[in-house]
C-alpha cells in the first residue's frame, strides 16, 4: 500500500468524493477536509485509508493541521453557487478566496508543493459568445463567485513565484454525475432536471432554453485530476476542462426525457442575474498535457449513470 497522503478539501462533496474513490484505487491514503455544509459523510467510503476532518477551510489552524504530512493538495472546497455569492459576497469570499490563501500558507509551512485547484469557466463571463473559449479569452467575472475564483488563480501564481508551490489550475466547465445533490442550491442543472423528471415534478428553465453549456461527466474530470496529482510538471497557465461540445438546455431536456421515457411539464421563467448565455471550452491545452478517457462519456450515457438506468 502506498503511504502517500493526498488532502482533498471539499472531499465529501460531489466531485471530491468521486476523486477520493479514484485516489484510493491508485493506492493513496486520503485526508478529507470538509465542513459538511453541502458534502455528506455518506459520500465517503468506510475505509481506514480515508481520514475525515470536519472543519472550515477559512480556519487557518484547521487547514495547517490538514495539510501537514501530505504529498499534494486537491483544493475543491468552495461555495459553488453563483446565486449564493450574489446574496452573500462577504461569506463567499471568506471561503473561496481567503480559504485558498490559507491553503497556500499552510503548504508553505509544511513544505508541500503540488496543489490541484478547481477554478471555473465563470471567470470568462459572457466573453467568447458563440465561440469555443480558450484560456487566453478575456476574463470578465460577472459574480463574486467568479471574481473569487479568478483572484485565487492570481494568488496561486503569486505563491508559485514566491514560495515555489506547483499549482495545477483547472477551469471547470459544467460537471455532472453521481452524488450531485439535486436538492442543494449548489447543484448543477443536470441533476435538477434528472431528479424532477424521475419524480414527475414540473421542470423550471430560466430563460428560453437556448443557452448552451459544455457538460463533462465527473469520471472524465477525476481522470484528469489524478494525473495532475501525479505528473512531474504542471502547465504554467490555467487549463480549461471541457469537451468542446455545446449542448442547449432544451437539448439536455430532450436527452433527459429519452433516458427517463418522458418529461413532466416544463415551464420557462426569466433569466437569473449572473447567468452566462453560452459556454463551450476549447480544450486544446488540456489535451496537450493530460489524457481524457477515449472516448469521453457521452451525455446520454452519463445521464443513465446519474439516474441509475
Q: Which of 164-173, 186-195, 204-213 has the lowest mean pLDDT?
A: 186-195
Candidate list 28, 124, 145, 290, residue with the active-site label: 145
Q: How do residues 224-265 score in pLDDT, each as one tens digit? A: 999 999 999 999 999 999 999 999 999 999 999 999 999 999
pLDDT on residue 1: 47
145 as an active site residue: the answer is yes
What domains appear along the chain, each with residue ranges and CATH number? 5-176+216-242 (3.40.50.720)
Instruction: Please state the pTM of the whole predicted model.
Output: 0.93
Average pLDDT, the chain: 93
Residue 272 has pLDDT above 90, yes or no: no
Q: How far apart are CA 205 and CA 261, in angstroms?
A: 19
Q: Taking the C-alpha atoms of 33, 35, 37 and 38 in order, what is their torsion angle to the nearest 10 degrees?
A: 10
CA distances 288 to 93, 132, 176, 291, Å, are 33, 17, 23, 8
Please give the average per-residue pLDDT across 280-303, as a whole number. Answer: 95
Q: How far apart are CA 176 and CA 178, in angstroms?
A: 7
Provide the H-helix boundaries in 164-298.
189-199, 218-230, 249-260, 284-289
CA distances 144 to 40, 140, 253, 271, Å, are 25, 11, 29, 18
Residue 182 has pLDDT above 80, yes or no: no
Q: How do residues 47-77 score in pLDDT, each as one tens digit? A: 999 999 999 999 999 999 999 999 999 999 9
User: Regarding predicted confidence, which is higher, 309 or 18?
Assistant: 18
Q: Confidence class of residue 183 from pLDDT cuts 50, 70 and 90?
A: low
Residue 127 has pLDDT above 90, yes or no: no
Amino acid at each position: 500500500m502506498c503511504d502517500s497522503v493526498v488532502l482533498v478539501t471539499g472531499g465529501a462533496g460531489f466531485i471530491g468524493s468521486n476523486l477520493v474513490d479514484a485516489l484510493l484505487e491508485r493506492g493513496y491514503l486520503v485526508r478529507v477536509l470538509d465542513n459538511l455544509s453541502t458534502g455528506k459523510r455518506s459520500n465517503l467510503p468506510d475505509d481506514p485509508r480515508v481520514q475525515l476532518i470536519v472543519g472550515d477551510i477559512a480556519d487557518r489552524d484547521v487547514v495547517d493541521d490538514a495539510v501537514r504530512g501530505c504529498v499534494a493538495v486537491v483544493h475543491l472546497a468552495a461555495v459553488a453557487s453563483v446565486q449564493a455569492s450574489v446574496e452573500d459576497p462577504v461569506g463567499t469570499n471568506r471561503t473561496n478566496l481567503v480559504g485558498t490563501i490559507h491553503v497556500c500558507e499552510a503548504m508553505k509551512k509544511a513544505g508541500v508543493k503540488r496543489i490541484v485547484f478547481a477554478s471555473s469557466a465563470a471567470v470568462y463571463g459572457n466573453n467568447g459568445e458563440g465561440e469555443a473559449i480558450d484560456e487566453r479569452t478575456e476574463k470578465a467575472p460577472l459574480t463574486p463567485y467568479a471574481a473569487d475564483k479568478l483572484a485565487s488563480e492570481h494568488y496561486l501564481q503569486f505563491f508559485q513565484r514566491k514560495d515555489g508551490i506547483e499549482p495545477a489550475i483547472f477551469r471547470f466547465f459544467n460537471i455532472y454525475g453521481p452524488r450531485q445533490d439535486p436538492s442543494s442550491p449548489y447543484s448543477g442543472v443536470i441533476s435538477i432536471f434528472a431528479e424532477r423528471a424521475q419524480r414527475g415534478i414540473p421542470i423550471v428553465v430560466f430563460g428560453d432554453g437556448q443557452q448552451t453549456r459544455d457538460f463533462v461527466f465527473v469520471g472524465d474530470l477525476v481522470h484528469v485530476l489524478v494525473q495532475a496529482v501525479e505528473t512531474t510538471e504542471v502547465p504554467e497557465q490555467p487549463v480549461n476542462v471541457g469537451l468542446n461540445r455545446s449542448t442547449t438546455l432544451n437539448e439536455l431536456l430532450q436527452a433527459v426525457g429519452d433516458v427517463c421515457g418522458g418529461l413532466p411539464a416544463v415551464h420557462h421563467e426569466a433569466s437569473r442575474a449572473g447567468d452566462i448565455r453560452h459556454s463551450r471550452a476549447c480544450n486544446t491545452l488540456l489535451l496537450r498535457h493530460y489524457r481524457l478517457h477515449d472516448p469521453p462519456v457521452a451525455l446520454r450515457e452519463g445521464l443513465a449513470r446519474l439516474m441509475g438506468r
